[in-house]
């Protein structure tokens, strides 16, 4: 009987210990989730998300060449001498592809990389490490955009038209071309279902700037090239549009010179308006979010960056607080990079830190995908796996 009591007592102690451990872990997790300062301390000191140059891989660059660099999916693409060389996240060379492009415009979405000759007429598309197609366009290419399905839109100009929109299938088939004689297209984005193209259009011919967001229908363009516009949203007179981005449910996130908002069903919902110099950066380069930075003075020569991350489906907001003034912000799909000089913080759209990188010199050029980031200097590329 005594032996049985001892065994029961041991079981009770073990059970209580397990429950206490689970409760302690649950409490720590909840504190980590809801306490930003504790989470930042844990990220840096426990989870070791703080990296420096000694912790990572690098790719050496030939400084005698004009190296142009882009990051997409799991690859680092370096273009020089009309050859694009792909490296993996360990800095190992994967392949080299010859392309007829010298000075490049890049755009990527997941596994697709579009490349064009800036102010030239060559354009091509890669899928992972495979060259899919190349074409020559009329006029000089000013912009290119690719969506996650491999559809490509190019914006060019010629002596007759301020803007020309050319739309390609993933196989390189030209689906339609649309001409704009008097207005300039400042940005374009392809919907996730490949049925529409949103363009930010600017008319500076009059005394007052006029900005529009036009939705071009691929179906309309194929049936009647003279009638491509599905609908148009007119912004207030004097407002300058700078960026458009198709997101889920055919919402269009727009950056204006006076703020940030979303167009859906021909209605504009404002998210933030710039009314003072505390709003320093705006970005919409996400799948379902927009973000902006609000600087807050915390002392003499001290500032805090409050990064507001807003879900454009339900307009719920998360805030990531950084005890420094931000010098630049970069965004890609679901990652935000905050550059504060010699340090860069990579956070996700939940407002959680993924990695922090500390450099030996000023950071000025950053390229990244959801999977990896690069810090680019004249003689080397530093690789940060996210």
Instruction: Note the pLDDT tens digit of each residue in 278-313.
Output: 898 999 999 899 999 999 877 776 788 999 999 998
Closest CA to 154 of 139, 221, 332: 139
- Sign of CA pseudo-dihedral 85, 105, 148, 243: positive
Q: What is the C-alpha separation between 371 and 378, in angstroms, rounded?
A: 23
Q: Kindly report, residue by residue over 83-115, the tens digit of the pLDDT.
A: 999 999 999 999 999 999 999 999 999 999 999
Going by pLDDT thresholds of 50, 70 and 90, the confidence category of residue 249 is confident
pLDDT in tens, 113-163: 999 999 999 999 999 999 999 999 988 999 999 999 999 999 999 999 999
Tokens, residue 39: 């989470």
Give the relative orientation of helices 36-45 and 2-34 as an angle to the nearest 10 degrees: 110
C-alpha 145/C-alpha 140 separation (Å) is 15
pLDDT surpasses 90 at 36: no
Which of 9-13, 184-188, 198-202 has the weakest average pLDDT? Answer: 9-13
């Amino acid at each position: 009987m005594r032996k049985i009591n001892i065994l029961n007592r041991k079981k009770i102690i073990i059970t209580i210990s397990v429950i206490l451990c689970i409760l302690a872990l649950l409490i720590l997790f909840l504190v980590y989730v809801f306490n930003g300062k504790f989470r930042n301390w844990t990220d840096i000191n426990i989870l070791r998300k703080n990296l420096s140059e000694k912790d990572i891989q690098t790719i050496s660059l030939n400084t005698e060449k004009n190296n142009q660099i882009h990051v997409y999916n799991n690859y680092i693409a370096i273009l020089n001498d009309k050859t694009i060389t792909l490296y993996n996240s360990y800095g190992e060379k994967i392949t080299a592809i010859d392309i007829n492009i010298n000075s490049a415009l890049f755009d990527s979405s997941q596994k697709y990389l579009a490349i064009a000759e800036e102010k030239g007429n060559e354009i091509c598309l890669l899928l992972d490490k495979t060259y899919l197609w190349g074409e020559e366009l009329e006029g000089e290419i000013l912009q290119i955009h690719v969506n996650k399905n491999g559809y490509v839109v190019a914006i060019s100009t010629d002596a007759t038209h301020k803007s020309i929109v050319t739309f390609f299938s993933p196989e390189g088939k030209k689906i339609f071309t649309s001409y704009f004689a008097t207005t300039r297209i400042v940005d374009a984005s392809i919907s996730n279902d490949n049925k529409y193209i949103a363009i930010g259009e600017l008319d500076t011919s009059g005394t007052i700037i006029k900005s529009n967001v036009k939705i071009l229908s691929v179906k309309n363009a194929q049936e009647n090239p003279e009638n491509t516009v599905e609908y148009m949203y007119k912004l207030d007179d004097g407002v300058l549009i700078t960026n458009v981005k198709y997101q889920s449910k055919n919402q269009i996130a727009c950056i204006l010179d006076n703020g940030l908002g979303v167009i859906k069903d021909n209605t504009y919902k404002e998210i933030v308006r710039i009314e003072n110099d505390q709003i320093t950066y705006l970005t919409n380069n996400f799948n379902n979010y927009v973000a902006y930075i609000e600087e807050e003075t915390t002392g003499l020569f001290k500032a805090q960056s409050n990064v507001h991350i807003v879900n454009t489906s339900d307009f719920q907001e998360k805030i990531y607080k950084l005890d420094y003034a931000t010098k630049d912000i970069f965004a890609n799909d679901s990652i935000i990079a905050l550059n504060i000089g010699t340090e860069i913080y990579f956070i996700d759209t939940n407002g959680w830190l993924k990695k922090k990188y500390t450099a030996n010199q000023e950071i000025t050029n950053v390229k990244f995908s959801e999977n990896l980031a690069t810090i680019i200097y004249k003689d080397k590329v530093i690789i940060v796996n996210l």
